[in-house]
Amino acid sequence: MSSSDLAADESETPEPHEPTFEKPGPADLVGGGIAIVLGAVVIIASQSFPRQPNVPSPGLAPSIVGGIMALCGLGVILTWARDRKRGREVEELIPSPLSIRDQVINVLAVLAVVATYILLGDIVGFPILMTVLLALLMIRLGAKWWVALIGAVATSVVIYLIFNDVLGVPLPTGWTPFLG
């Protein structure tokens, strides 16, 4: 057997990713715990739903579902405990090129946009508020200021045309009532 035969043999079934085995962190313990607690809370809360005669309790189905959820949560914790001993195959995740600080700020920015619109949408109105929020978010995510401006205005205009004019959804006009 020459070495080239061996080489050909090895290339038959390559392992594209060598599975890495790791001890899992506490995430599953927490997740499973949440499932158990949530299931239990649902079962308890379901006992106090108002009952009607001759009809099954409205708490029946939620209790069953809550029970299954708690059991599965238990299963997750047991699996986690077992994997703490023997390791678990971990998928390699591509790490983010952003720093943790940037990641967090990005997420908060996205959530802030939605929350701000919820709170101020009716007051400031869609045209101005959405344009401003979009532009700020685009800049935060790395767009050049003039790209962000054009993008934000274009998006707001297109959405306004589609939803307000074509579909008839009354988007709040707020500070720009002349656009209504």
Partner 1 sequence: MLHNLGEAFSLLATVQLVVVVLLSAVYGMFIGAIPGLTATLATALLVPIALFLDPIPAVASIISMSAMAIFAGDIPSALVRMPGTPASAAYTDDAYLLTQNGQGARVLGVGLVGSAIGGIAGAIVLIFAAPALSRVAMQFTSFEYFWVAVLGLTAAVIISRGSQLKGAISLMLGLLVSMIGLDQTSGAPRFTFGNGDLLGGISFIPAMIGLFGLSEVIRNVINPARRVKAPRMKTKGMLGDTFRTLRKYWKGMVSGNAIGAGIGALPGAGGDVAAWVAYAATKNASPNGKLFGRGKGHIEPIVSAGAANNAAVASAYVPTLVFGIPGDTITAILMGVLLIQDIEPGPGLFAENAPTLYAMYMLFIIANLLMIPLGFLAIKASGNLLRVPAAVLMPIIVAFCIVGAYSINNARFEIIIVLVFGVIGYFMERHGYPVAPAVLGIVLGPIIERNFMSSVIKTNWDFSQFFTRPISAILLSLTILVLLYPMLAKLFRRKPRDPAPADDET
- Which residues in 14-73 contact partner 1 (CB under 8 A)? 14, 27-28, 31, 35, 39, 42, 45-46, 49-52, 55-62, 65-66, 68-69, 72-73
Query: Which run of H or E residues covers position 170?
Result: none
Residue number, 157 or 175, with CB nearest to partner 1: 157
Residue number, 81 or 111, with CB nearest to partner 1: 111
Looking up tokens 């962000």 gives 148
Q: How far is the CB of 91 from partner 1 (least distance, A)?
A: 9
State whether the Cα torsion 85-90-96-97 is positive or negative: positive
Cα–Cα distance measured from residue 53 to residue 56, given in angstroms and rounded to the nearest whole number: 8
Q: Pick the binder of partner 1 from 3, 101, 167, 178 (CB under 8 A).
A: 167
As given in the structure block, the two tokens for residue 177 are 């009532």
Q: How far is the CB of 3 from partner 1 (least distance, A)?
A: 19
Instruction: Give me the helices (H) in the chain, please.
Output: 3-10, 27-46, 60-86, 100-124, 126-141, 145-159
Confirm or reject binding of residue 6 to partner 1 (CB under 8 A): no
Residue number, 122 or 175, with CB nearest to partner 1: 122
State whether the Cα torsion 122-128-131-132 is positive or negative: negative
- For residue 109, give the nearest of 141, 154, 65, 70 by alpha carbon: 141
Residue number, 108 or 175, with CB nearest to partner 1: 108
Residue number, 23 or 51, with CB nearest to partner 1: 51
Q: How far is the CB of 43 from partner 1 (least distance, A)?
A: 11
A 10 A CB-CB count for 135 gives: 21
Judged by CB under 8 A, the chain residues 93 through 112 that form the site for partner 1 are: 94-98, 103, 106-107, 109-111
Judged by CB under 8 A, the chain residues 118 through 157 that form the site for partner 1 are: 118, 121-122, 126, 130, 133-134, 137-138, 141-143, 147-148, 151-152, 155-156
A 10 A CB-CB count for 23 gives: 11
